[in-house]
Amino acid sequence: MTQYFPIIIERESNGTFSAWAAGLPGVYAAANTAAAAKRGMRGALAAHLDALRTLGREPQPQADVTVLRRDVYATRRDTLRYVSVGALLGRGTSRAKAVASRRNGRKGGRPRMRTVS
């Protein structure tokens, strides 16, 4: 069975990094670098899972992950709307591929090879 745990890493005002597991209270780490915070988080989560295992319990993360996007406009008020987590990954296709796809669609799609029967 595969489980996923959302981990949040934040840079604090004093320059250190804090990491915590969304939905798992008490599972956190702090360090001077983001990489060290990630390593600390891995250790903290492993210890938490081991403790649950010895108690005969399964982890029950109680968190939903979503993204709130802010659109800034010069002529009207900013808008906030929820988008999928995939929005954090950026564009799925390059601008050049998107332009080529639009051109191809205008031409009736990809040319097909005729088969001789």
The pLDDT tens digits for 4-49 are 899 999 999 999 999 999 989 899 999 999 999 999 999 999 999 9
**Confidence class for position 104, pLDDT limits 50, 70, 90:** confident
114 within domain boundaries: no
Helix then strand then coil, in percent of the chain rounded to 5, is 30, 20, 45
116 within domain boundaries: no
Three-state secondary-structure class, residue 8: strand
Parent domain of 14: 7-54
Whether residue 74 is found in the same domain as residue 50: no
At residue 97, does pLDDT exceed 90?
no
Three-state secondary-structure class, residue 18: strand
Three-state secondary-structure class, residue 50: helix
Which pair of tokens denotes residue 90? 């950026």
1 within domain boundaries: no
What size, in residues, is the chain? 117
61 within domain boundaries: no
Map tokens 């938490």 to a residue.
Answer: 48
